[in-house]
A and B are shown apart, each in its own frame.
Chain A
């Protein structure tokens, strides 16, 4: 717990100094491309405390961050916080669904692979997931796009809704799901591998243990032995993995969101890179780091709750 807080502090310090070093003139950059008189710019600089010593600026930064004031985006000239907040739902929906699907499907695959180890089922599953895991995820997205959206026309080419439509309610949700199918498929396939391999090796570890022999001796059917005894114990690492991955959820889909023009945090990051829109990047980075820290903490707590053998943190 203390460790997590320290890490968060480290992230804040790192974030501040990295960007302060690079942003030589944040106010000038914010208003570049516009005709603002020099006097107005100087006033703004004082207002933002940019003529203060670095230490004082850091304190301002902490205060602003605590108030969720992450500055103003260079590209949109809107508060960074607003831009980020409006992008969160799309990413959470897409990556949440993909994370769940890849965890479920991947785990099932891992179970089958372990239970039927060294058969063709095992080899197919293991090789297949390894192939998907070894390719750039956005490349997989491009392939799915060209096949299913361009050639076959079954899905749209990008975005979250059909632009220009004012659908509401169920029709809107169906439209969004329609748009979400391909990017979700991409992310699910790309990250299956992790779950499959972890589950498989964890299950293989467990399968060597005594109580399974006892259960088999009792005459229980294979499936029952697997589902009621082996799998639950093998699941612990998977659960931890899932919890940790949820933390990386927010940042996991940057390139894929760019390929599908999915209006979430990933696309916001890809757009901010083009400037570079440093305030946006700074805010996004802080959010991504904080999410990972929080979910790691949650994973640790969950793990210790599930497995009493582990000591208190």
Chain B
């Protein structure tokens, strides 16, 4: 019996050791990326998560591309373009010999089909760009795009272009097009999707037909995006070499990562910002009546301590901003005249409220409306999917307490919050945005057309509407900037959207595995998950791809454990023999 036990243990030891001996060397060059945001769909016509945009940036090439350093429009699928005399039509010439990743030719037909169908069927993610465009095929390599109104965005055309030969039979209408799972794996970018596991990972493989690699051949065979539920585990994985780069780590880990000599930390700015939004009252659900008074909103603005948030929650990795930032390109950052700016001044806030007649008549610490009724208590919605939302909720409560306004906190996940905003049954909430490069989409979110949809300030202003239509067709770039600054000032002065800071994309990459990371925009931007994600085509591995350290360690541990078990088993075997003699009665 004992002999069998010893034999079994020896087999166990052998089994544990063998994998060490025959560890397979992975010949593939694999880029491993960690992130914390899941993908809902990989369909580029209908999704909106940052994690999804990154996949599309890599999988689909666009007609024109964006320069890494300043977002300037550079050739993409099109190598050149010519405007017409009236500026309403552009004729694009495609590169020679373009192929989809499955070998089919990529021609002007694809371009035209995308634009026209996207417009006709109303694809969400394309409509604001192509709604006014019409495309005509001149020949295989030439496509003509005409706009019905003057369009300052042209010749930039960076909507994702899907393969017509795959999509045409499927996209029969809006529903069919937007509900297609888009897992055909056919693309035109440097890598194409080969495997998608929701809640886990996306795997992409090199597209041999892509023209834009650093060298002639793709330097990387596979890119694996790994989803982490636990951001701390993601940071640990990077530190242990199991990942090559991570996106969106918690600010509190920055110090530890910066201390690591083989890791580079990037706090990338691309116009993203977080705000406390006040219910502007433009839809049915009503905010607390006090919020409809501009003076009350101004008082609230003066009671918010942006410094505290930047210092305590972001460890100074974020930077302050006066109001909504409409673009990733820093040239559109708001410049609010100093005399209009708010600052952290609770005394002044209290003064404003006193002067406006909102007094605390019953001495309970909460002000009431001027007629003495309806104590000002705000329903603040905490977004459970947001990183700092709970802490901001606590801080907001404290700030408002200081100026005699009560706050009730309620928690919602991001989807429920969207519903609450549309219903209007809230007073304030905390959320954020990541804008595009062209300011138009972000600006549109404060117009009447976006009420019940993306206008989460629930606010409109006629002057703002007017200026929005103006900038939409203003072809003179300087004049356009002027108009937009006016709009931002209107939004700022209304006090409905209290932008706290520009939120950086916290990223980190190992300096010992890959090189070639590029910041977009130059110097201040993130190295990936940026507007057009140029890094992927430019990365090359450093030296030989190291074997997976983690699993080797574990196998050695496993082997050691097995060894101990064997020795222990032998010991027990010998001891049992002597004591069983005793046992017999």
Contact = CB atoms under 8 A, between A and B. Distances in A.
A165 B550 contact: yes
B372 interface: no
B40 interface: yes
B554 A170 contact: no
A29 interface: yes
Nearest to B244: A164
Interface stretch (B67-75, B234-242, B373-381, B512-520): B234-242
A74 to B, nearest CB: 6
A256 B32 CA distance: 30
Given A32-B418, A157-B230, A163 B34 contact: yes
Interface string A243-277: 00000000000000000010100000000001111
A57 interface: no
Contact of B384 (A157, A174, A274): A274
B550 A157 contact: no
B34 A164 contact: yes
B428 interface: no
Contacts of A261: 229-230, 233
Contact of A32 (B124, B233, B416, B558): B416
A162 B237 contact: yes
B292 interface: no
Interface residues of B, number: 41
Interface string A46-84: 000000000000000000000000000011111000000
Contacts of A157: 230, 232-233, 236
Contacts of B216: none
A162 B224 CA distance: 15
A150 to B, nearest CB: 9
B413 interface: yes
Interface residues on A, range: 20 to 34
Q: Which of B230, B234, B243, B412 has the most CB of A within 10 A?
A: B230
B19 interface: yes
Interface string A207-222: 0000000000000000
B233 A171 contact: no
B451 to A, nearest CB: 13
B582 to A, nearest CB: 11
A165 B419 contact: no
Interface in B380-399: 384-385
A29 B237 CA distance: 36
Given A32-B416, A164-B34, A174-B554, A158 B19 contact: no
Given A158-B230, A163-B234, A274 B413 contact: yes
B453 interface: yes
A300 interface: no
A167 interface: yes
A178 B554 contact: yes
Contacts of A35: 124, 453
A77 B242 CA distance: 30
Contacts of B233: 156-159, 163, 261
A116 B199 CA distance: 53
Closest A-B pairs by Cβ, 3 of them:
A32-B419, A33-B415, A33-B418
Given A77-B40, A277-B413, 19 more contacts: A29-B416, A32-B418, A32-B419, A32-B422, A159-B229, A163-B234, A164-B237, A164-B243, A165-B242, A167-B551, A170-B16, A170-B19, A171-B554, A171-B558, A174-B558, A261-B230, A261-B233, A274-B384, A274-B411
22 contacts: A28-B419, A29-B415, A29-B416, A32-B415, A32-B418, A33-B414, A33-B418, A35-B453, A40-B175, A158-B233, A159-B229, A159-B230, A163-B228, A163-B237, A164-B237, A169-B19, A171-B554, A175-B554, A178-B554, A261-B229, A261-B233, A274-B384
